[in-house]
A and B are shown apart, each in its own frame.
Chain A
């Protein structure tokens, strides 16, 4: 077995692990980073940027939000069911972290809201071509990776860690296996685990949440994100704590049907399999709320019904709800993708001349659906949603002109968060809430600050927590190692 020695062993090279690597490197510690994939960055490669609160970018845009305000907002949102000390440490650090990233060479396009009701905390990384969109944060990954290397972090790609090494009650390293199948042992003075949850592990998802992948749950599934880190931390006595999904909603196989996913999620008529409305569709921009609401419906899905006339209006005037991930451009491509979907028999897209025909396609009682539509249209005509109080400007009568169209949206998730309990020093706690010496965790494995639901009103939160907790863990490790040497 190959044996390696370093100061700090970092398990996984997503935004948390990379931030930790740069942080310990800045302080003169050596580190070895064990990454399962061929590239670094993990989930950050699909993301756009981290949260920042009270940053100079926000101030320049007159969009500043104080830490106090964000903290109150978050703690009220979570009903103090989360570690306030951890939240406040993270929030207070976030502005400095944005400045730190800028110093490293990361450029930001600005601070953004995800949807209208959210705060402008999302610091989106500026792509080379200037167009903000998915994957923007991969530029940040590059900077962090290069910096980590510059500080001497040895990044071992395609080398997943398999277990932690404990000696005399202290975590002193990790075992791993490389692409040739060779086992290796990496020893250090402390270990930071940041493997990003278990969003790709169907078995764990079933066990922890009772959800079945590709049946009643269509999350983002990032290959490799299988809960490796959580399992190895639980194995050495970490408390199992606070695992949850980061709920959203989407069409099944939405990458192939991205346009349909983007255009059909407008606040029209949302009904469950019983043909009944169940929420104010005006909230459809808040993808967490909708995900939660879908989870209350049979099968964890609902149909969002509109018609082609409304689609045409969106194409011309822009959609009701704007968000950055689903740009308005999509409406221009709707006709073509809808045609393809019908041709190929895509199971989550529906189009019909009459509401009864549409109901039949969906397997809903036609009479119920027709009644729901009549009631809905009557409310649209009167301009008052007497049922769920949707804003009048979203009340477009659905007449079926040019055909009814509908998408079947399922409960989804970005991934999972939480699983172990950390304190504000990112020390991993055991069942008695005592730190396990030498073991630190950061990023989504340790993100338990949302309580039952992702706080979409402070966008960039998950990547923000990853980068900030990665730095926090790195700093704590420095203290720990200094303590060992004294």
Chain B
């Protein structure tokens, strides 16, 4: 430790530390602009000038090392004079108005002149109009505001090693920029955003609107992670994949979700909608990288920590429903030391993962392994146990979580909907998954409903050699299932009939003959009343002949079917809830059972949040965060010509002919080479958060100006 005096105060500093940082660390504010704690000091701006040991000439405190017994004064007339001149010089070419600047209110420069009270300037000699450049994706250049501090250049050149930004000397003078008038993509920019992060003015900024999507700053910087309902640390696991550590990648994923593999196969990847690379060419293929990691995780290095549980709390929790939400909640509650029992009405845990989603999308054996890991933590499970009253169950447990999902299929109220050969998607998919003989459906089937469940049914039945018509009310461009499902389904032979309204199921109660429909030209759904208004095409009525009809027209909890489930339900049969709390003390509800049908990742996220709530209710701290893999991220990402143009790597897809005949997964997992190719496309937005946040004068306590 070195002891010195700064502005009359005795301060301790580390050996080799700069005077500036010794002062800042001690809570003494000295104005500074070109200095940045994460970049090498250059001493160029002279804003941090101080007088040392009464010397006549001020020196930049950022580039002066502390010395034992040194006496530093930042307020001498000489130091203030240098600082004032320096500020005036910077302001000389900076626009005289802050109006219209996207950095207004967050600008270091603005804060600095607030502190110093510097105002107008002699700009008559230095008009500079550098046009705003908003032609690049993600990053907007407003170099009219550049004060030539060089922070962005140091960040780009030295910190990142990307070497795109440099000083540009053009007609209007010197400013930071891309030499040669190239676009950022042409120059090899990796769009890491370091330049934005360190710019003390509004010269380099995120494109308009980029930073206002979420309340938290970090979420705006790393939107993939923000979009993921479970907030998986996506950039970190992509980094692990790129560096050839699929096991670490899985560990990182497992910090937030217990089903990396399931998600790698079937997640609806909201993260990809957040991916900033979409603005450059195409989003990262995040889901497929997750699948690659899960499929190649041989060492399971995270396992010991993953299975570790806290000492027993003596509290008992019952989870009703062994789907993604229930199992997730069970896992995290067990980790917190509670005694957890899952009650599942079906013969196997997993909910839709084992009894719904068909094998060609999700391999059963792998799902079972992930479920087994949860049981390995000591979670108890009782299958074939249907709970008809949560209140009754509560008598034996300290807390109960209702995570029953929406397992009951809904039928449209059509004449003939109760015929014998009319089924719901839930039942058909369960039978299909259980490997039952599907012959009872006959040779030709009509599926009603164009969501992903409808396509699961249709594509599964195609694999049983049946003729399948899938009809839905939505017009072709509004079909609910994702584009891949529609395209691949059609390739496999599903006959998609969009824009159809359903009139009746023809035939007799014992024998379905067909589905009577007519074509609708347009339809509108009034959310408030639930009413559908349609414009029918005249004379379009027709009967689609079929042996059976399957409704894939929505699901419900089924809780209102029980005589008295013991918690208050709303008109639609969902538990009334405030957060996760139901009407009854100690009984919680989560997942599809409160949100309505959703995606697996949403259910998992609900399970996590509910577990945290329940832990708090049981006297815990509710903290279920865990680090399974220590992170390292090298900020020096280096040069990469052509980075912007790197195309998104798609998984190889089996031919329609071959996939029709079996239940194997439609896609092949990335090869190692494909995975690392895809992973290296990542912008590594998270690196930006490594930069220390600069403190402004107003962040300091008692400032002595």
Contacts and interface: CB of A to CB of B under 8 A. Distances in A.
A38 B114 contact: no
A139 B610 CA distance: 50
B215 interface: yes
A181 B116 contact: no
B218 A180 contact: yes
B127 interface: yes
Given A45-B110, A145-B698, A127 B120 contact: yes
Interface string A172-211: 0000010111100000000000000000000000000000
Given A180-B218, A329-B124, A344-B129, A128 B117 contact: yes
Given A135-B119, A336-B127, A128 B84 contact: yes
B105 A39 contact: yes
B581 to A, nearest CB: 15
Contacts of B172: 340
Interface stretch (A248-256, A400-408, A477-485): A248-256
B121 A131 contact: yes
A37 B105 contact: yes
B106 A38 contact: yes
A293 interface: no
B34 to A, nearest CB: 19
B535 interface: no
A138 B117 contact: yes
A224 interface: yes
B214 A337 contact: no
A40 interface: yes
A340 B128 CA distance: 9
Given A181-B215, A332-B124, A135 B99 contact: no
Given A138-B113, A181-B216, A220-B99, A333 B127 contact: yes
B695 to A, nearest CB: 10
Contacts of A255: 95, 97, 99-101, 144
Interface string A135-166: 11011011001100100000101101000000
B119 A136 contact: yes
A129 interface: yes
A333 B124 contact: yes
Contacts of A40: 698
A142 B95 contact: no
A221 B99 CA distance: 6
A335 to B, nearest CB: 9
A196 to B, nearest CB: 11
Contact of A142 (B102, B117, B124): B117
B129 A256 contact: yes
Contacts of A332: 124-125
Contacts of B116: 128
Interface string A211-222: 000000000111
Nearest to B217: A179
Contacts of B120: 127, 129, 131-136, 327
Contacts of B699: 157
B104 A223 contact: yes
A133 B117 contact: no
Contact of A37 (B106, B697, B702): B106
Contacts of B218: 180-181
Contacts of A221: 99-100
B115 interface: yes
Contacts of B560: none
Contacts, number: 160
Contact of B113 (A131, A135, A158): A135
Chain B interface extent, by class: 35 or more
B382 interface: no
B111 interface: yes
A38 B111 contact: yes
A340 B117 contact: no
Given A129-B118, A135-B113, A46 B97 contact: yes
Contacts of B117: 127-129, 138-139, 142
Contacts of B122: 329
Most chain A CB inside 10 Å of its own CB: which residue of B98, B104, B107, B702 = B104
Contacts of B132: 253, 256
Main secondary structure on B side of the interface with A? loop
A253 B95 CA distance: 12
A135 B91 CA distance: 11
Contact of A38 (B105, B123, B144): B105
A258 interface: yes
A38 B99 contact: no
B127 to A, nearest CB: 4
Nearest to B129: A340
A258 B95 contact: yes
Interface in A94-153: 127-129, 131-136, 138-139, 141-142, 145-146, 149
Interface in A340-380: 340-341, 344
Nearest to A226: B212
A37 B98 CA distance: 14
A421 to B, nearest CB: 28
Nearest to A252: B100
A242 interface: no
B96 A38 contact: no
Contact of A157 (B113, B698, B702): B698
A38 B113 CA distance: 14
A179 B103 CA distance: 16
B131 interface: yes
A181 B214 CA distance: 8
B383 interface: no
B646 interface: no
Contacts of A136: 119-120
B158 interface: no
B623 to A, nearest CB: 14
B219 A220 contact: no
A406 B699 CA distance: 46
A15 B122 CA distance: 28
Interface in B558-578: none
B341 to A, nearest CB: 31
B703 interface: yes
A170 to B, nearest CB: 24
A135 B98 contact: yes
Interface string B408-434: 000000000000000000000000000
A42 interface: yes
A259 interface: yes
A231 B621 CA distance: 35
Given A46-B98, A223-B105, A129 B129 contact: no
Nearest to A330: B124
Contacts of B216: 179-182
A257 B118 CA distance: 22
B696 interface: yes
Interface string A41-66: 11001100000000000000000000
A224 B105 contact: yes
Contacts of A341: 129
Nearest to B91: A135
B88 interface: yes
A259 B97 CA distance: 12
A128 B114 CA distance: 10
Given A134-B97, A145-B698, A45 B114 contact: yes
Interface of A: 36-42, 45-46, 127-129, 131-136, 138-139, 141-142, 145-146, 149, 155, 157-158, 160, 177, 179-182, 220-224, 253-259, 327, 329-330, 332-333, 336-337, 340-341, 344
Given A135-B97, A259-B127, A344-B131, 13 more contacts: A37-B106, A127-B117, A128-B116, A128-B119, A138-B119, A142-B114, A157-B698, A179-B216, A181-B219, A221-B99, A254-B100, A329-B122, A333-B125
5 contacts: A45-B110, A133-B119, A258-B97, A259-B127, A329-B124
Interface of B: 84, 88, 95-107, 110-111, 113-125, 127, 129-132, 144, 171-172, 214-219, 696-699, 701-703, 705
Smallest CB-CB A-B distances: 10 pairs: A133-B120, A181-B216, A37-B105, A127-B119, A128-B117, A220-B99, A139-B117, A329-B124, A333-B127, A38-B106
